[in-house]
Structure 1
Amino acid sequence: MSLPAPCFILADVHLGVAPRETERALIAFLRSLPGRAGSLMIDGDLFDFWFEWGTAIPRTGFRVLAALADVVDAGVPVTWVAGNHDCWGGDVLRQDVGVTYHFGPWIGDLAGWRARVEHGDGLRGREDRGYRAIRPVLRHPLSKAAFRLLPVDAASRLATGSSQASRTYRPRDDGLGIRRAGIARLESDPQIELLVLGHSHVAGVERASTGGVYANPGSWLDAPTYLRVDAREIALCRWDGSAEGDRLDALERRPEEALRHP
């Protein structure tokens, strides 16, 4: 799999609990991408809750879905890695919106980098043991089929109520658990040039001892930050309404690797 440069990466918008101005800022950002982006990656939890019934979908965020469809129609490929809040996507996202909806880690060529992208839920050792135990149950086809039998409004209220604890959760370690998991992954696999994780809501870019880069786009729920990746560098930016955004940090690619991808 290959995503053209420049690739823009965002995560953790949590539409449904995000303020209206956050949604408006995201729509403005998406509308700025045609003619400017080679590709877009959504690293999970665009929605605080997402489910597809036979003839119904959640009302929340329909303008964002329309903006995403316009991005796809403009020729910008959009890849969406499922998070822990929006892991029940299906034909509406793939066929009607036109995104590539992906379960599990995405591995491929991202703007010329050998990359691995995953949401990051369940990666911490002791802290995530309980969640790792129930995650297969939540994502099992039988669970999805049973949930579909519930009335739409009742099911939506149940899901949004149960998600409140995790959406308001800010890690006590300020994201260090996700960061450590990312750095450990890079050090165990020197072939990875770029590892992108979300979930912690803590933005940052950091180089591991192997030369590979750990990056987290942060959370649009907290601040409208995102990553911009091209063949030469990865930059952490904050959306400020302008075409390029406010550049917060950046790391250049290792010179020997960059020369292989002019």
Structure 2
Amino acid sequence: MDKKIYFASDFHLGTPDYAESRAREARIVSWLNFIEPDCGELFLMGDIFDFWFEYAKVIPKGFIRIQGKLAAMADKGIKIYFFKGNHDMWVRDYFTKEIGMEIISDELVIERNEKRFYLHHGDGLGPGDAKYKFLRKIFRSRLCQWLFARLDPNLGIGMASAWSQGSRAAQTEKEVFMGEDKEWLAIYAKEQLQKQHFDYFIFGHRHLPLDLDLGNESRYVNIGEWINYNSYAVFDGIDLKLEYFTGKP
């Protein structure tokens, strides 16, 4: 491989307020500038925005710097994938038309340099959380999106912004490792390994950087978030590494 592959998620742009979100956006753009020279593919694996909804002629205002940077990277031939997360599941075709990003609704299986990757934001997987899994089906339904689109954008986006202030991403407490036998995404990955082999399972959503050996030369890597950790993963063609952006050379 001449270029590297980068994975990041859970920027949660828009929360908890404008000032903090704007500072985080600047940090992310700095990271994109840092990785751009050797980046061949970029996987943005969900919850890039704390809320996103595309009306027919309206999108949430703001976030112009990251959109401009991603557009510039795409124009240089870098392939960018955008996974729907539980906060930005209402992404439609705007980013595809304007930037050229490929939108991924659920899991994506890829093979690079003879390594198999299972990629997913991570929401709705594994045991438990039946309430969210039920709500996820409702929120992702065309009827729900059609009904929300009937709201005036000022009302709809205003309601969503108010809801975001109480979301998990708006809190500053760091997540705690629960033990491999209780980490639901590790459990899910092990279940998938019973069916077929993957070298790497890469998820976001958990908000905790993790790199767990699942046995049989398979690993589960959670790429964390950018409120507390500024964490991401990079594959150089040989190995996958979990790294942290410090903003320093």
Per the TM superposition, whether the score is higher than 0.5 is yes
Give yes or no for the alignment of 1:161 onto 2:167.
no
Aligned partner letter, 1:220: W
Percent identity for Structure 1 against Structure 2: 24
Is the CA contact (8 Å cut-off) linking 2:209 and 2:224 kept in structure 1? yes
The answer to whether residue 30 in structure 2 is matched with residue 32 in structure 1 is no
Deviation at 1:189, TM superposition (A): 3.7
Alpha-carbon shift at residue 91 of structure 1 (Å): 1.7
Per-residue displacement from partner, 1:176-230 (whole Å, max 9, x unpaired)? 5244334423532442111101101100212211211111111012221110112
Q: CA RMSD in A?
A: 2.2
Amino acid at match of 2:92: G
Determine if contact 2:15/2:170 at 8 Å carries over to the other structure.
no
Q: Pick the aligned partner of 2:210 from 200, 204, 215.
A: 204
Residue in structure 1 matched with residue 177 of structure 2 by the alignment = 174
Alpha-carbon distance in 2 for matches of 1:177, 1:56: 39
Q: What are structure 2's unaligned runs of at least 5 residues? A: none
What residue is the counterpart of 2:93 in the other structure?
91
How far, CA to CA, are the matches of 1:168 and 1:177 in structure 2? 22
Give 1:155 deviation, angstroms.
0.4
SS in 2 for 1:215: strand
In 2, the alpha carbon distance for the partners of 1:4 and 1:94 equals: 26
The one-letter amino acid of 1:194's match is Y
Paired letter, 2:144 = S
Task: Summarize the Cα distance change of 1:239–1:40 in structure 2 as closer, same or farther, 3 Å threshold.
Answer: same
Rounded Cα–Cα distance in structure 1 between residues aligned with 2:176 and 2:229: 19
Change in 2 beyond 3 A, CA 1:142/1:61: same
* Distance of 1:171 and 1:177 partners within structure 2: 15
Q: 1:102 aligned to 97, 101, 104, which one?
A: 104
Whether the 8 Å CA contact 1:82–1:119 is kept in 2: the answer is: yes
Cα distance change, pair 155–102 in 1 and its aligned pair in 2 (3 A): same
Q: Secondary structure of 1:208's partner?
A: strand
In structure 2, the partner of 1:194 is 200
Which deviations, in whole Å up to 9, do the C-alpha atoms of 1:21-56 show, x marking residues without a partner?
211110111123332111100110000001111111
SS in 2 for 1:32: helix
Q: Distance in 2 between matches of 1:242 and 1:112?
A: 33
- In the alignment, which of 58, 64, 77 is matched to residue 62 of structure 1? 64
Per-residue CA deviations over 1:206-259 (Å, capped at 9, x if unaligned) read 22112111111110122211101122111111112245xxxxxxxxxxxxxxxx
* Residue type at the aligned position of 2:103: Y
Q: Residues 82 and 130 (structure 1 numbering): CA distance in 2 closer, same or farther, change over 3 Å?
A: same
Matches within 5 A, 1:5-20: 5-17=3-15, 19=20, 20=22
Equivalent-residue separation in structure 2 for 1:178 and 1:72 (angstroms):
34
Kept in 1: contact 2:113–2:238 (CA 8 A)? no
Whole-Å Cα distance in 1 between the matches of residues 40 and 28 of structure 2? 18
Matches within 5 A, 1:67-146: 67-110=69-112, 112-126=114-128, 128-146=129-147
- In structure 1, what residue type is equivalent to 2:228? D
Deviates more, 1:87-96 or 1:110-119: 110-119
Alpha-carbon separation, structure 2, partners of 1:150 and 1:75? 38
Deviation at 1:74, TM superposition (A): 1.1
TM-score (norm 1): 0.84
Determine if contact 1:4/1:39 at 8 Å carries over to the other structure: no
Contact 2:176 2:208 in 1 (8 A): no
Q: 1:27 to 1:111 in 2, by over 3 A?
A: farther
Match for 1:174: what amino acid?
F
Helix, strand or coil: the match of 1:34?
helix
Figure out how many residues of one structure are paired with residues of the other and give that number.
240
Deviations 1:158-183 (A, max 9, x none): 12233433434668753652443344
Q: Structure 1 stretches of 5 or more lacking a match?
A: 244-262
Amino acid at match of 2:83: V
